[in-house]
Amino acid sequence: MYKKILLATDGSEHSLRTTNHAISLATITADSYIEVVYVKESTQVKSDTLHNWNKVGVMNVQEDKVMGIEEDLQKAGISYKTTVLNGEPGPTIVDYANEKEFDIVIVGSRGLNAFQEMVLGSVSHKVAKRANCPVLIVK
């Protein structure tokens, strides 16, 4: 049923758990494939670069965040592709999911407090509201 699965990740530990749900969905349907989407957000990039200052050039700080997920997917033997996009996470994921006509979007819920949610806006809410396909929010 779900052939094209979009797994949105912010590279956090929580998003590794989200991966497990993506894997179990993918194993239900034959020939399904997962596209791991990581959105680079400017303030996050700024603080990551600062905190990995002595590793800059040795590693791609942003891309390396999805390595854990890729390992899990390889282990599970699921075909996947990784895409890195730039912009505001919520709208960027929505646009990509709608444009590429995914069958389902899987996204983690970070659990922000009320104030953070007011200022930052919840990525999972935005995706759930505006994506044209079913959205699985993993708590």
Partner 1 sequence: MQNTLTSRKAWFGNIKGDLVSGIVVALALIPEAIAFAIIAGVDPMVGLYASFLISVVIAFAGGRPGMISGATGAMALVMVDLVAEWGVDYLLAATILTGVLQIIFGITKLARLMKFIPRSVMVGFVNALAILIFTAQLEHFEGANWVMYAMVIGALAIIYLFPLFTKAVPSPLIAIVVITIIALMTNVNVLTVGDMGQITQAFPSFLFPNVPFSFDTLMIIFPYSLALAIVGLVESLLTASIVDEYTGTASNKNREAGGQGIANIITGFFGGMAGCAMIGQSVINVSSGGRGRLSSLTAGLVLISLIVFMGDIVSQIPVAALVGVMVMVSIGTFDWGSIRTLKIVPLTDNLVMIVTVLTVVFTHNLAIGVLTGVLLSAIFFVAKISKVKVTKEFKYNRMHYTFQGEIFFASVTELMDEFDYNTENAKEAVFDLTKARLWDDSAIAALDKIVSNLEQKRINVYVVGLNQLSSELRAKLSRKLSAH
Q: Is 2 within 8 Å of 28 (Cβ atoms)?
A: yes
Whether residue 52 contacts residue 119, with contact meaning beta carbons closer than 8 Å, is answered with no
Give residues with Cβ within 8 angstroms of 67, minimum separation 6. none
What are the structure tokens assigned to 27, written together?
């194993």
- 43 counts as binding partner 1 under rule CB under 8 A: yes
**CB-nearer residue toward partner 1: 29 or 86:** 86
Enumerate residues 6+ apart whose C-beta is below 8 A from 75.
Answer: none
Give residue 98's region: left, alpha or beta (phi > 0; psi -120 to 50): alpha
Greatest CA separation for the chain? 46
DSSP H helix total and E strand total for the chain: 6, 5
Considering the rule CB under 8 A, would residue 53 count as an interface residue with partner 1? yes
113 binds partner 1 (CB under 8 A): no
Q: How far apart are CB 75 and partner 1 at their closest, in Å? A: 26
Asked whether position 56 contacts partner 1 by CB under 8 A, the answer is: yes
Residue from 14, 21, 52, 95 in contact with partner 1 (CB under 8 A): 52
Q: Is 62 an interacting residue with respect to partner 1 (CB under 8 A)?
A: yes
> Does residue 123 interact with partner 1 by CB under 8 A?
no
- Interface with partner 1, residue 122, by CB under 8 A: no
Residues 80-99 that bind partner 1 (CB under 8 A): 84, 86-88
Residue 46 interacts with partner 1 (CB under 8 A)? yes
Which chain residues interact with partner 1 by CB under 8 A?
Answer: 40, 42-43, 45-54, 56-57, 60-63, 84, 86-88, 119
